Copies of this chain bind each other. A is one copy, B any other.
Amino acid sequence: MPYTIKIINLEKTIHAQKGELLADKILEYGIDLSVYCQKKALCGKCFIEILEGNLPPLDEIEDFLLRKNRLSQSHRLACRYKITGDLAINIPPESLLQKTFILKTGIKLPLAIDTFVKKYFGEINKPGLDHPHSLLSEWGKHLRKKQLRIQLKLLQTLPGILKDSKQKVTTVLYDDNEILAVEPGDTTEKSFGLAVDLGTTTLVVELIDLNTGESIDAATENNAQMKYGMDIVSRISFAYQKPDNLKKLQAVIIKNLSHMIESLLEKNHIPQDHVYEIVFAGNTAMNHLLLGISVDTLAVSPFHAVFHRLSAFTANELGIRLNLNAKAYVAPNIKSFVGGDISSGLQATDLASHKGNLLFVDLGTNGEIVLKTEKKFVATSTAAGPAFEGMNISSGMLALPGAIFKVEKKNRLILHTIRKEKPQGICGTGLIDLIALLLDEGKITPSGKISGEKDTIRITEKIAISQKDVREIQLAVAAVKTGIQMICEKYRIKKVDLDMVYIAGAFGNYLDTKNAMRIGLLPDIDPAKIVYVGNASLAGARALLLSRPARKRTESLIRKVEYVSLASDPRFQDCFIDSLNFGDGNSSR
């Protein structure tokens, strides 16, 4: 006859047979008990409080973890507790799986934290005459793992650290099989990682607490590679000229990132030794340049990448100084022109597991478009250029304090700036609002001509829109519009058939749907179907940093997505020229 286990604080009752493991039963009933250490009695995160029922004596390990966690004597590890009778228990909130939300805008998708990097505190036994093991085998016993990989340099330091810390150390394990670091005392609370959005125009580095998944701080800077080429194509050409240029491009971005990371860590009082992993999400060319890998094959037909998927290597190899053995992982490229920024974006939105006809559009310097139907999972890319990031626009700027990000007309023109600072320039969303407004007012014709005599429209004393600026926006919009239209047509998906359109990109929530539709950037559909997911590339990098299953899913996802080349489609030219007209125009075909 099964025993009854009442979980008082969760108001649930579960049943179990004699001898079954309490942790297994709790998990079986769908309760998210933390099994951080895979039920090895290492982490002490699955303590439950026994209110009624058998309270077996504490073993040495439980006692150690109980004291470490300052819990009452009525707590036991669920991963050690064998059921022998009816029970009434509490599962403390701390013993439930840590979850975090990866996307900051749009949709709320909880992600269970299961990092590659895990820290365990404990006392390493001294080998004795009666157990003549080696220090390393005692370590393996402590971590319940027979064979552990360790770098020679780290192994050399182990005896000293152990001696100095009186055998009480925190071990940093990577993917359960490699010792990354060993630190004296209990440093389990101090575990950090970095997620990097490796944009062509903008770099974002986010500092993340690997224990909680919480974003601690972030830094945004212009990509310093811009001095060698504003867009990715000109950087590929520059690298193609001579091998030294590739080195220059790599050096400049490493310096750029190193500086950002240093400042972030300093500002948040986190020593670099406590940062154990960095994950990069960037387009294919950007991540090749980051790794110093030739982009020559991306410069000429058939435009192929050197790699799509790489195992984690060390940040040190890359010249980025974190913990000596910290790992670096690059979100895998889907195809030559659909890179790790998109694979991570798809991971962040969990597109692969949603049903219906879904469109994912990343409005970055490259406009990547992914269509998922019941039958197909296809991606394409369009060269939008950096106009949406305020580049190549006379009064343009990044979405930084002082940027006009929203423009309204209520009797008079109202300019909203970031942090309400004095207008410094205009960023992507502001430009889109402005063009829509000027179209409505007839100050710009549907073909993009500034009406009247002057070829400049003044907004403030310092800020104006030139004919050239309008042309830049027009080209960027047309690129995206053509892409969406052609991919939908190819797979016979009409606008009305679209169940959801995810808009990713630095635009975030600022993009005004009505205005975006007005100029033709977004298809003219039910606005409720449009979801702004913000910087999904960065969010995906965060997911890849925080979740081993997410990384696994992404690595298998990239094999499923097909690439469709727009440029090789004979209808491309016509469609592009048609798309140059502002508005939804021909997209209803």
Contacts and interface: CB of A to CB of B under 8 A. Distances in A.
A159 to B, nearest CB: 4
Contact of A153 (B126, B158, B303, B317): B317
B311 A159 contact: no
A98 to B, nearest CB: 29
Interface in A529-587: 563, 565, 568
What is the copy number of this chain in the assembly?
2
A337 to B, nearest CB: 9
A171 to B, nearest CB: 15
A309 B147 contact: yes
A72 interface: no
Q: Which of A132, A153, A160, A568 has the most C-beta atoms of chain B within 10 angstroms of its own C-beta?
A: A132
B317 A159 contact: no
Interface string A143-162: 00001011111011011100
B291 A156 contact: yes
Interface stretch (A293-301, A411-419, A467-475, A493-501): A293-301
A409 to B, nearest CB: 47
Chain A interface size, under 10 / 10 to 19 / 20 to 34 / 35 or more: 35 or more
B152 A306 contact: no
Contacts of A294: 156, 159-160
A307 interface: yes
Nearest to A337: B132
Interface string A128-148: 110011111100000000010
Nearest to A153: B317
A517 to B, nearest CB: 33
B129 A306 contact: no
Given A134-B306, A147-B311, A304-B127, A159 B565 contact: no
Contacts of A128: 302, 304
Given A129-B302, A291-B156, A313 B151 contact: yes
14 contacts: A127-B304, A129-B302, A129-B303, A132-B302, A132-B335, A133-B308, A134-B333, A135-B304, A135-B306, A136-B306, A155-B291, A159-B293, A159-B296, A160-B243
